[in-house]
Structure 1
């Protein structure tokens, strides 16, 4: 077996992605409840803070900014 042959099977890979999406969704919806009157930069920082310790090698991408902007715009309902 080669090192490149070591990987998660499709079922495990799908579960990892599903769990990751759930963590992101929960963080976004929780901040949407408590971020009225806050700036997008503040919400962005809170999202990063909420997510960074939940993932190995977390690096925020444009999705985090998109969700911070949507929270500030009131696009999510409780």
Structure 2
């Protein structure tokens, strides 16, 4: 077997991605719920701080800036579903 053949199977890949998406959603929602008026930079820093130790080789991408802007603009619904 060649080392390049060693990889997660598709169900494992899907689970890893679901878990990563859940962690991202939780971090964004935590910041959106905890701050009233917050700048995009402050929201970015807080979300980044919540995520940085949760992933191997984590680097914030442009999507994180998009979510920080949305938090600053009050675009996330933070209430309980109902």
**Which TM-score band applies after superposition, normalised by the shorter structure?**
over 0.9
- Displacement of 1:37 after TM fit? 1.2
Q: Are 2:27 and 1:27 equivalent residues in the alignment?
A: yes
- Displacement of 1:22 after TM fit? 0.1
Alignment match, 1:2 = 2
Structure 2 distance, partners of 1:35, 1:3, is 47
Runs of 4+ in 1 over 2 A off after TM superposition: none
Over the aligned positions, Cα root-mean-square deviation in angstroms equals 0.6
Alignment of 1:1-78 (within 5 A): 1-78=1-78
* Gapped regions of structure 2 (runs ≥ 5): none
* Gapped regions of structure 1 (runs ≥ 5): none
Query: Bigger CA drift: 6-15 or 36-45?
Result: 36-45
TM-score (norm 2): 0.92
Aligned residues between the structures? 78
Structure 2 distance, partners of 1:30, 1:75, is 14
Structure 2 distance, partners of 1:33, 1:27, is 10
